[in-house]
Structure 1
Amino acid sequence: MEVTHLADAKAYVAPKHYDMRSLRLQGFEASGADFAWAGLSYFLPGGGAEMDAGPLGKIYVVLDGEITIELGSGEIQTLKALDSCFIPGGEARAVCNNGNTVATMLVVMPYPEKVQ
């Protein structure tokens, strides 16, 4: 078993994100997880991610606060604590914390080389 204590988690940069800090919990340099990686994102009020469509599917789990997700199709969903969603690879999405408190979100994604 490989444990990552929050106090030891290392920051990483998430491209096209703003007013957000992210920590690697599992995978890449954090552990030997070989099928996916997990990150913890803290979005400040007004923080988010630009509309973008990456090739990888992703799972978002909101742990605290609220996160609004807008899809390229125009669909908008607001996720609250313990709500989750799956966004398939190639589907454009934007993320925003429209609230006045920090929102915390768990992100789980496969490694790029696992994409078929």
Structure 2
Amino acid sequence: MLLKRFEEATPYEAANHFGCHGLRLQGFEDGGPTNQWVGFSQFLPNGGAGPDSTPFEKVYVVLEGEMTVEIAGTETVLRKFDSCTIAAGEVRRIENKSNHACTMLVVIPYPPEAAT
């Protein structure tokens, strides 16, 4: 078992994100998960990401607040404990349209070149 306390999580910057602070909870370390990593994203009001896509799927889980996810012109609001899977190659835009911070767990497979 690899235990990592929240205080030990390391910050990371995600491409094409704004108003966001990310922490890596698990992944990219010896003894950690071998097929995916887990991020903790904190979005300020009006913070978000995209539009863009990745060549692999990802999962979002909202822990607090709400996040608007836009795919193919359709907007869906995720609230506390809602989750979604974004398919590989699917173009998405996310934005915190509320006046409260939004925190999300993000689960993403390693890119092929980074797999351990």
Report TM bin, short chain: over 0.9
Distance 2:81 2:90 in 1: 22
Give 1:102's aligned residue: 101
| 1:33-112 map, 5 Å | 33-71=33-71, 73-112=72-111
Q: Structure 1 pair 77/31, CA: closer, same or farther in 2 (3 Å)?
A: farther
In the superposition, the TM-score normalised over structure 1's length comes to 0.93
The alpha carbon displacement at 1:54 in A equals: 1.2
RMSD, aligned CA: 1.3
Distance 1:54 1:36 in 2: 14
Count of residues paired in the alignment: 113
% same residue: 46
Residue type of the alignment partner of 1:60 = Y
Distance 2:27 2:51 in 1: 25
Instruction: Tell me the alpha carbon deviations over residues 25-53 of structure 1, each in whole angstroms, 9 at most, x when there is no partner.
Output: 01113852101100000000010002001
Q: Structure 1 pair 111/3, CA: closer, same or farther in 2 (3 Å)?
A: same
Distance 1:31 1:41 in 2: 23
- The structure 1 segments of at least 4 consecutive aligned residues displaced by more than 3 Å after TM superposition are none
2:40 match: secondary structure: strand
The alpha carbon displacement at 1:4 in A equals: 1.3
The alpha carbon displacement at 1:3 in A equals: 1.1
Q: Note if contact 1:56-1:90 (Cα within 8 Å) is conserved in structure 2.
A: yes
Distance 1:111 1:59 in 2: 13
Distance 1:2 1:14 in 2: 24
1:14 match: secondary structure: coil
Structure 1 unaligned regions, length at least 5: none
In the superposition, the TM-score normalised over structure 2's length comes to 0.93
Residue type of the alignment partner of 1:106 = L
Q: Note if contact 1:9-1:30 (Cα within 8 Å) is conserved in structure 2.
A: no
